[in-house]
């Protein structure tokens, strides 16, 4: 059954979105109803991770196959952790029809199913295909599946981190609320189109929302997002444009004896552009306990989770291709007002878990009856060096200091080594009087040293720091030449 009682005479994409908004408002005006997964065959719900991944949709059944369109779509079956199903509709000028996934359109041979499936398979999402690298070959450029997760790729990129439509109560000392896509509309593109619109209704106990995603594949694939949120009740923490990633191990952690790879992560830092023109860089970590960092801002110019280290030698992984994982950069459209950029780092024992979340949290609390509007662009970048025009923190390493004459570690003291490169640093001669400006809360700086690193065409900052017992220390540092700031602001949370 279609969500709309009657199809409007849609003449443009804006008219379609107005109808999706009306559906979200209608949902929010009524009590929340948990969607049922009863339509998903038990055999599909029993699928494991590898079994689910082995299911393939036959290309001959792709939506818009043989119509000489730039885009094609493959439905994804409900099952594994992806339940309940989502309703997907295809929209052209004046017709809305449900997307039907036939059992025989899938290749189930590697899933080792014990029972026969029904002729029609409920769907959990879809893959979007586009000739990204060659005109005669379709590549997967985006996937929408699970809660409100969506991922997308530019040229020469491999899937890593994810975007989400919305986050609710993430990192609070209670159960996080996970909104879900209740319905998705695929707007049929023109035959030569280089962009495609996807509409969605998002639903949860706290809110219902209407979303428009305009996807433009390319070297740096972009997704323009418009969100209209209708609050059923107040929300303690509303996370706008949330990004989710995995960080198991980086430069500051020794590798496991069972793992040959030096580093394992989808992104290695959080980058933030402030309204005042400052760039903040926060290296990511896999902490021993939940860590939450908040950066108070007024109308941020952008933020993102960035894979800055692109050297294959840092990962040595031919299968996961961590050196090809995209960075996601969020650029607000219009002013988002006052709030904070919140970074949540969750302890994780394995790379299968997403344990990093970054999202914008408005200062004004969301209350029942609110209608909130947010517009922004998300860009998938392989090379994010152009974002921060000054010198960049390219590595952060952590060590210990020693008690003089003993070789024993000094209590509550650590050594931080930060390498900066790029910008004017690359052309400064070694004799230039480059210095560091360092601020610390919750500790004191014992020693500071700045020296050139010719092999990097950059400079190194070495800090010996003493933190207060059992309390984290917060550091900020930049490199300067006389009164000129040469680098972005490196920030770090030193935990006991």
Q: What is the per-residue pLDDT for 255?
A: 65
CA distance 141 to 468: 48
Q: Are residues 344 and 421 in the same domain?
A: no
Closest CA to 463 of 480, 482, 442, 477: 477
Q: Which of 381, 410, 441 is the last residue of a domain?
A: 381
Segments forming the whole domain that contains residue 456: 392-494
336: domain CATH number? Answer: 2.70.98.10
Assigned domain for 7 exists: no
Q: Are residues 194 and 259 in the same domain?
A: yes
Q: What percent of the chain has pLDDT over 90?
A: 84
pLDDT band at 257 (very low <50, low <70, confident <90, very high): low
Average pLDDT, rounded, for the chain: 93
- Rounded to the nearest 10°, the torsion over CA 422, 330, 150, 93 is -130
Q: Are residues 475 and 330 in the same domain?
A: no
- pLDDT of 247 higher than 80: yes
Q: Are residues 36 and 168 in the same domain?
A: yes
478: domain CATH number? Answer: 2.60.40.10
Q: Which of 381, 412, 430 is the last residue of a domain?
A: 381
Do residues 248 and 348 lie in contact, with contact meaning Cβ atoms separated by under 8 Å? yes
- Rounded to the nearest 10°, the torsion over CA 134, 197, 201, 14 is 180
Assigned domain for 416 exists: yes
Predicted TM-score (pTM) of the model is: 0.94
Assigned domain for 434 exists: yes
Q: Are residues 324 and 440 in the same domain?
A: no
Long-range CB contacts (within 8 A, 24+) of 29-35? 29/230, 31/232, 32/203, 32/204, 32/205, 32/232, 35/84, 35/180, 35/182, 35/203
Q: Which of 381, 406, 431 is the last residue of a domain?
A: 381
pLDDT digits over 178-204, tens only?
Answer: 999 999 999 999 988 999 999 999 999
Do residues 122 and 40 lie in contact, with contact meaning Cβ atoms separated by under 8 Å? yes
Query: How far lies 199's CA from each of 83, 139, 186, 188, in Å?
Result: 20, 22, 7, 11
Closest CA to 200 of 246, 142, 159, 154: 142
pLDDT band at 4 (very low <50, low <70, confident <90, very high): very low
Quickly tell me which residue has 């359109």 as its tokens: 105
Q: What is the per-residue pLDDT for 59?
A: 95
- pLDDT of 7 higher than 70: no
Q: Are residues 295 and 364 in the same domain?
A: yes
Do residues 215 and 152 lie in contact, with contact meaning Cβ atoms separated by under 8 Å? yes
DSSP 82: B
Assigned domain for 328 exists: yes
CA distance 302 to 336: 11
Q: Are residues 410 and 444 in the same domain?
A: yes
Q: Are residues 361 and 397 in the same domain?
A: no
**Domains in the chain: how many in total?**
2
pLDDT digits over 105-130, tens only?
Answer: 999 999 999 889 999 999 999 999 99
- What tokens appear for 256 in the block? 């496991």
User: What per-residue string of b and e applies to 335-366 under the rule 16 or more CB within 10 Å gives b?
Assistant: ebeebbbbbbbbebeebeebbbbbbbbbeeeb
Q: Are residues 23 and 63 in the same domain?
A: yes
Give kind and range of the element (H or E) at residue 467: strand 458-467
pLDDT digits over 369-426, tens only?
Answer: 999 999 999 999 999 998 988 999 999 999 888 777 677 778 888 999 999 999 999 9
């Amino acid at each position: 059954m279609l969500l709309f009682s009657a199809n409007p005479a849609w003449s443009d994409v804006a008219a379609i979105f107005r109808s999706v908004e009306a559906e979200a408002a209608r949902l929010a005006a009524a009590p929340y109803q948990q969607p049922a997964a009863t339509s998903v065959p038990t055999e599909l719900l029993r699928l494991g991770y590898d079994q689910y991944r082995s299911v393939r949709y036959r290309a001959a059944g792709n939506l818009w196959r043989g119509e000489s369109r730039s885009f094609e779509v493959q439905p994804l079956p409900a099952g594994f952790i992806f339940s309940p199903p989502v309703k997907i509709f295809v929209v052209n000028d004046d017709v809305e029809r449900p997307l039907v996934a036939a059992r025989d359109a899938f290749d189930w041979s590697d899933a080792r199913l014990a029972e026969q499936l029904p002729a029609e398979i409920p769907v959990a999402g879809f893959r979007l295909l586009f000739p990204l690298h060659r005109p005669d070959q379709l590549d997967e450029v985006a996937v929408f599946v699970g809660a409100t997760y969506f991922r997308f790729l530019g040229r020469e990129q491999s899937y890593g981190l994810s975007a989400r439509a919305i986050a609710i109560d993430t990192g609070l000392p209670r159960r996080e609320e996970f909104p879900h896509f209740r319905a998705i509309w695929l707007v049929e593109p023109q035959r030569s189109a280089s962009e495609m619109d996807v509409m969605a209704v998002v639903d949860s106990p706290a809110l219902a929302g209407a979303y428009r995603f305009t996807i433009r594949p390319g070297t740096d694939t972009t997704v323009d997002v418009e969100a209209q949120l209708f609050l059923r009740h107040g929300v303690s923490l509303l996370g706008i444009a949330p990004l989710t990633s995995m960080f198991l191990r980086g430069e500051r952690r020794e590798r496991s004896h069972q793992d040959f790879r030096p580093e394992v992560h989808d992104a290695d830092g959080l980058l933030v552009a402030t309204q005042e023109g400052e760039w903040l860089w926060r290296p990511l970590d896999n902490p021993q306990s939940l860590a939450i960092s908040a950066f108070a801002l007024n109308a941020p110019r952008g933020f993102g989770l960035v894979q800055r280290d692109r050297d294959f030698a840092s990962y040595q992984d031919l299968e996961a291709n961590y050196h090809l994982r995209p960075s996601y950069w969020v650029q607000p459209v219009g002013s988002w007002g006052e709030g904070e950029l919140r970074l949540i780092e969750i302890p994780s024992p394995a790379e299968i878990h997403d344990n990093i979340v970054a999202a914008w949290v408005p200062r004004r609390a969301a209350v029942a009856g609110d209608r909130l509007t947010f517009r922004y662009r998300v860009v998938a970048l392989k090379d994010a060096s152009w974002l921060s025009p000054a010198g960049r923190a390219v590595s952060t390493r952590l060590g210990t200091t020693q008690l003089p004459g003993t070789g024993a570690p000094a209590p509550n003291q650590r050594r931080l080594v930060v390498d900066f490169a790029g910008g004017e640093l690359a052309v400064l001669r070694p004799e230039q009087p480059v210095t560091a400006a360092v601020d610390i809360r919750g500790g004191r700086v014992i020693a500071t040293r700045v020296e050139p690193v010719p092999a990097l065409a950059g400079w190194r900052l070495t800090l010996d720091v003493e933190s207060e017992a059992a309390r984290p220390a917060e550091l900020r540092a930049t490199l300067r030449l006389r009164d000129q700031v040469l680098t972005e602001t490196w920030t770090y949370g030193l935990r006991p």
